[in-house]
Chain A
């Protein structure tokens, strides 16, 4: 389609082409906007502008005049514009609220060293801390309560735990099925099996979650006899259901794109179908199969509803029969109750930005591998 002519003679056509070009940039624009606007809401946490310290030194309302505008703005968390428009009475009642909030703090928290900590600082977000009432330093996600604990490590552990269980279940099944469908099955069977397996991706994740919650959890518990009915194991297997079609499609695609000459050569030399598949086709398609697993990982890490419905306790534990709370679940469950614009809200957005970065990287890696793989095959043809 390399014929380019008549542009200058036809201004309408020229305009239309420019329009088409501009619209085609929308995908890039959207990716940028997503990153920009998710990160924008998380910025105050990154810059250390949030403060969750429970006990703060209140400014007595009578001493308003003694403080500069900048001090008041920081203290009351308002913009200069808002301060300028505010009447004396409003300012006064705002100051009263601050004082009242301090007075409402229960006695036992007033002397608690934890109550003076700004828990949104990086060290509390990432490192274990010995909170009062605990025997040893621990990673804790407890965003609700007097002292809000925002350690995001348990959520990372939960996400990884569920995702890895899902992949352990899904990758062998999906790759096995991809080998079978692309290499071993008869053409007629293949024509039926492929769309059937791809149909699995048509089941909404909320339905998979529902099925896991109502049916699978009970069945699996009666098989494995673990104590907690809803745990990371059930969530992981259910997650596997959602990931299987993704891995299957990409792996199957990679396996079929291995040039026929390879297969025919091997078969002509007397190799069995299985030998051809295992020793010739699979090694040739390995990068593609690997990419399938990476993209499956990206899909699993971002899955929300399944994990939300099946398990949700943010326990810091690697045991697969314990509950787990993934990053996605945390965002979905807690956003509605978080104070809009508050530290909790900002940290949820921060988690979203991290999640976006993680899937962005795994997608880039997966795509890169597939791209290289296809180029290599085409070069060899």
Chain B
């Protein structure tokens, strides 16, 4: 088996070198559709550039960045210290971080639920299991059913770090395989509560969120997410080895963050970067 492998490898090694000059993009599945859209538009404008996009997860993307198997790494979370160290070991420099889009996360409840708003602390209390009944937050007297994502999703991690402040989700939380499954479950369960991308709420009710007790309740809309008044949002990132950040790759990255590139972000359900964030 090994022998044939080597023959294959030798045959392939020659043709691989011809691929140089292409841009490869790898990483978060959250970003893969958007990255593909960008790649396509860009390739139609610049016929000499070839961009290859693949997903797998942010972790896979960072691993590929360390191994130099990809030029750009899409990530739905910030690079972790351990990954950063490995990158430094691999290419003697910190990878450059580019913010490429905004993602607002909303809290879904059943449309029959009379509740309209919650504070961030209340949301955290509900998802950690401290608050168990809707009446504790001014709703009807009914037990709360909590719907969450599986712990491999970037959404889960973000929600855990920023809304639950690092505490664990309630053990009673139901784990759903995707945002759509959460929305579906909340639509069927009038005591249900879930979270996910603001654009994917469907016909469920999106709660307005108050940052503190005193601040006003803000509903997730394009405007409130972009101006930062809605409190639950995150950046989506692209990471690149600074040594590679020139020529075609640099041109592509700056196009992504230009008006032209940003206008495709909304089609996928995320929000464009506010102007002041576009230059890094």
Binding site for B on A (CB under 8 A): 26, 76-78, 82, 86-87, 89-90, 93-94, 97-98, 100-101, 104, 106, 108-109, 131, 133, 140, 142-147, 149, 213, 227-230, 309, 311-316, 323, 325, 333-334, 336-342
**Would A341 and B86 count as touching, CB distance under 8 A?**
yes
Assess whether B94 is interfacial by the CB under 8 Å rule.
yes
A selection of 16 A-B contacts at a CB cut-off of 8 Å is A76-B85, A87-B92, A97-B81, A104-B81, A142-B169, A144-B152, A145-B157, A145-B168, A227-B145, A229-B185, A229-B188, A315-B171, A333-B150, A334-B151, A337-B58, A340-B63
**Would A94 and B166 count as touching, CB distance under 8 A?**
no
**Would A336 and B175 count as touching, CB distance under 8 A?**
no
Instruction: Report how far A55 CA is from B200 CA in the complex, Å.
Output: 37
**Would A339 and B59 count as touching, CB distance under 8 A?**
yes
Instruction: Report how far A67 CA is from B143 CA in the complex, Å.
Output: 57
Binding site for A on B (CB under 8 A): 1, 56-60, 62-63, 66, 80-86, 88-89, 92-94, 128, 145, 148, 150-154, 156-157, 160-161, 165-169, 171-177, 185, 188
Do A312 and B171 form a contact, CB below 8 Å, given A97-B85, A333-B150? no
A96 to chain B, nearest CB (A): 9
- Secondary structure at the A interface, as helix, strand, loop or mixed, is loop
**Would A337 and B154 count as touching, CB distance under 8 A?**
yes
**Count, A-B residue pairs, CB within 8 A:** 116
B3 to chain A, nearest CB (A): 11
Do A145 and B166 form a contact, CB below 8 Å, given A76-B85, A97-B84? yes
Contacts of A100 in B (CB 8 A): 81
Instruction: Report how far A101 CA is from B160 CA in the complex, Å.
Output: 18
The 9 closest A-B pairs by CB, nearest first: A336-B57, A313-B175, A101-B81, A340-B63, A337-B59, A146-B166, A90-B92, A333-B152, A337-B152
Q: Given B151, B172, B174, which contacts A143 in the complex, CB threshold below 8 Å?
A: B151
Q: Most chain-B Cβ atoms within 10 A of its Cβ — which of A90, A228, A337?
A: A337
**Would A312 and B177 count as touching, CB distance under 8 A?**
yes
Contacts of B145 in A (CB 8 A): 227
**Would B157 and A340 count as touching, CB distance under 8 A?**
no
**Would A311 and B85 count as touching, CB distance under 8 A?**
no
Instruction: Report how far A316 CA is from B171 CA in the complex, Å.
Output: 8
**Would B174 and A336 count as touching, CB distance under 8 A?**
no
Instruction: Report how far A131 CA is from B93 CA in the complex, Å.
Output: 37
**Would A109 and B83 count as touching, CB distance under 8 A?**
no
**Would A98 and B59 count as touching, CB distance under 8 A?**
no
Contacts of B168 in A (CB 8 A): 131, 133, 140, 142, 145, 149
**Would A336 and B80 count as touching, CB distance under 8 A?**
no
**Would A86 and B174 count as touching, CB distance under 8 A?**
no
Instruction: Report how far A314 CA is from B173 CA in the complex, Å.
Output: 10
Do A94 and B66 form a contact, CB below 8 Å, given A145-B166, A338-B59? no
Do A144 and B59 form a contact, CB below 8 Å, given A97-B84, A109-B166? no
Which B residue sits closest to A101, measured CB to CB? B81
**Would A340 and B185 count as touching, CB distance under 8 A?**
no
**Would B151 and A133 count as touching, CB distance under 8 A?**
no
**Would A323 and B174 count as touching, CB distance under 8 A?**
yes
**Would B174 and A108 count as touching, CB distance under 8 A?**
no
Which B residue sits closest to A102, measured CB to CB? B81
Instruction: Report how far A101 CA is from B82 CA in the complex, Å.
Output: 9
Contacts of A78 in B (CB 8 A): 89
Contacts of A228 in B (CB 8 A): 174
Contacts of A147 in B (CB 8 A): 166
**Would A98 and B154 count as touching, CB distance under 8 A?**
no
Q: Given B1, B80, B84, B89, which contacts A86 in the complex, CB threshold below 8 Å?
A: B89
**Would A94 and B88 count as touching, CB distance under 8 A?**
yes
Contacts of A143 in B (CB 8 A): 151
B87 to chain A, nearest CB (A): 9
Contacts of B160 in A (CB 8 A): 144-145
**Would A90 and B88 count as touching, CB distance under 8 A?**
yes
**Would A98 and B85 count as touching, CB distance under 8 A?**
yes
**Would B84 and A82 count as touching, CB distance under 8 A?**
no
Q: Given B94, B169, B172, which contacts A93 in the complex, CB threshold below 8 Å?
A: B94
Instruction: Report how far A78 CA is from B82 CA in the complex, Å.
Output: 11
**Would A311 and B175 count as touching, CB distance under 8 A?**
yes
**Would A77 and B161 count as touching, CB distance under 8 A?**
no
**Would B175 and A144 count as touching, CB distance under 8 A?**
no
Do A339 and B152 form a contact, CB below 8 Å, given A228-B174, A323-B174? no
**Would B175 and A339 count as touching, CB distance under 8 A?**
no
Contacts of A133 in B (CB 8 A): 128, 167-168
- Beyond A90-B88, A146-B166, 7 additional pairs, beta carbon < 8 A: A26-B1, A86-B89, A97-B94, A98-B81, A144-B152, A145-B160, A145-B166
